[in-house]
Structure 1
């Protein structure tokens, strides 16, 4: 498994509200197990065809490989996180899988097929979004797209609403073995100001959406790039959480899709 730098910022400056009181990292970077690893912590098993828009992404680079999630937004486009595509040379896309190792079909595409946001900044997790151009995927009950938010909802904060996250991230902070079944959990969107108390305002900008993680329910390794959906609409892309673990009760953060509707349309032609 590729080893990644953890985003550590000075605790001494945290009182200013700009820098984090808790160090943060991408779910993709948590594991030390050299394999596709896990699931959402303390979530539920998905049933067949429950999340037809969910894909698994197995990235490869000269230094290793890693697993992320993604969302189908068109039959030739997948949306994921920039920290997932960053540094990779190719990806195998798993479509229609409830059991991770049993997809309906897979496509392998090179890095030339993806569009990583030109202004992605890993240190502050800015613009953590990428598009992957794929061969045309045949839609069915198990493989289908998820809707993007309407332009009219650009200023929606979604605070207080319950959204669903899905993916194959680790089952717990202690997990060292892989689990194959797609997981999901319901998470409540919180005010960004609450999230800033943990991660700082340099990291939690208006282009980030955060959720509470009560009862050790959160996104964990392997969920990076995966969807946060509300009423069948994609509102977030799994981005980062607390370095200290998925179960410590710190907020989980997502790229706010409404902040990138123009970027998505410009680069893929897709809109709500």
Structure 2
């Protein structure tokens, strides 16, 4: 399981891959997200004393964060917190980390990789993520924008690194939808997107996939061992809008 960012390992022609070296970890593929966009991005961090977990999320209301289910650790010994207003980094108003007192809500029935976190104290003066117009959801070949703070480096042979340093700026990348919504056990209803030499990484899960300025997806934490090999799986928010609206109105 894993998370998001965007990368391309730039290899010089004729350079062989040495398993003991990471080829200077020169990365391209994504770009710094504009300061005017994605101000609703939330950083989620977990720790059990020996391991850490980095994810993204999206503020969709004064008390609500939408993210991937596996981003909020419920196992014994783990502590979690959420940090708002992490983008842009030069924002004058910073919100403190929110620890504890966060409600956790899942869709009913079998487990899907999407969850709602409820903050006890309402948030003000923060942009909310625009929820989707499900009559115009992304189709095959449409371009969606993914983002996250995941690691921007890979290891030997382009292998993903779960403990790599996170990006210093929120990264955005455009990817093409290659598979329409389908159901995957333990993940739920997902669609897939891919672009040459671009990928999502550990740390990116839970962040938003945007189409036409609206949030249509939550990046799934499934990350292959090697970068840029497989399409990114994205939980389809439209398939869960009835549950989202009901939860926001009832709780």
TM-score, L = length of structure 2:
0.75
1:211 aligns with 2:185: no
Q: Cα deviations across residues 49-73 of structure 1 (Å, max 9, x unaligned)?
A: 3221211111244664311000111
Give the RMSD, CA atoms, in angstroms.
3.0
Q: Cα deviations across residues 181-218 of structure 1 (Å, max 9, x unaligned)?
A: 1100011112249xx8xxxx74498810110131x211
Would you say the 8 A contact 2:189–2:239 is kept in 1? yes
> Deviation above 6 Å: which 4+ runs of structure 1?
100-103
Q: Which residue of 2 aligns with 1:132?
A: 117
Q: Cα deviations across residues 127-156 of structure 1 (Å, max 9, x unaligned)?
A: 1111111222222xxx30111123545xx4
Would you say the 8 A contact 1:173–1:247 is kept in 2? no
Q: Which residue of 2 aligns with 1:146?
A: 129
How many residue pairs align between the two structures?
Answer: 218
1:57 aligns with 2:44: yes
Would you say the 8 A contact 2:57–2:65 is kept in 1? yes
Q: CA deviation at 1:265?
A: 1.0
1:169 aligns with 2:150: yes
Structure 2 residue runs of 5 or longer lacking an equivalent are: 8-28, 156-160
Would you say the 8 A contact 2:2–2:203 is kept in 1? no
In the alignment, the residues of structure 2 paired with residue 220 and residue 100 of structure 1 have an alpha-carbon distance, to the nearest angstrom, of 24
**Is the partner of 1:254 in helix, strand or coil?**
strand
Equivalent residues in 2 for 1:28-177 (5 A)? 39-41=5-7, 42-61=29-48, 64-87=51-74, 88-99=78-89, 104-110=94-100, 112-119=102-109, 121=111, 127-134=112-119, 135-139=121-125, 143-153=126-136, 156=137, 158-174=139-155, 176-177=164-165
In the alignment, the residues of structure 2 paired with residue 62 and residue 120 of structure 1 have an alpha-carbon distance, to the nearest angstrom, of 30
Q: 1:213 to 1:120 in 2, by over 3 A?
A: farther
Q: 1:257 to 1:113 in 2, by over 3 A?
A: same
Would you say the 8 A contact 2:184–2:190 is kept in 1? no
More deviation in 73-82 or 129-138?
A: 129-138
In the alignment, the residues of structure 1 paired with residue 101 and residue 51 of structure 2 have an alpha-carbon distance, to the nearest angstrom, of 15
TM-score, L = length of structure 1:
0.69
In the alignment, the residues of structure 1 paired with residue 92 and residue 152 of structure 2 have an alpha-carbon distance, to the nearest angstrom, of 19
Would you say the 8 A contact 2:38–2:87 is kept in 1? no
In the alignment, the residues of structure 1 paired with residue 218 and residue 96 of structure 2 have an alpha-carbon distance, to the nearest angstrom, of 21
Would you say the 8 A contact 1:73–1:148 is kept in 2? yes
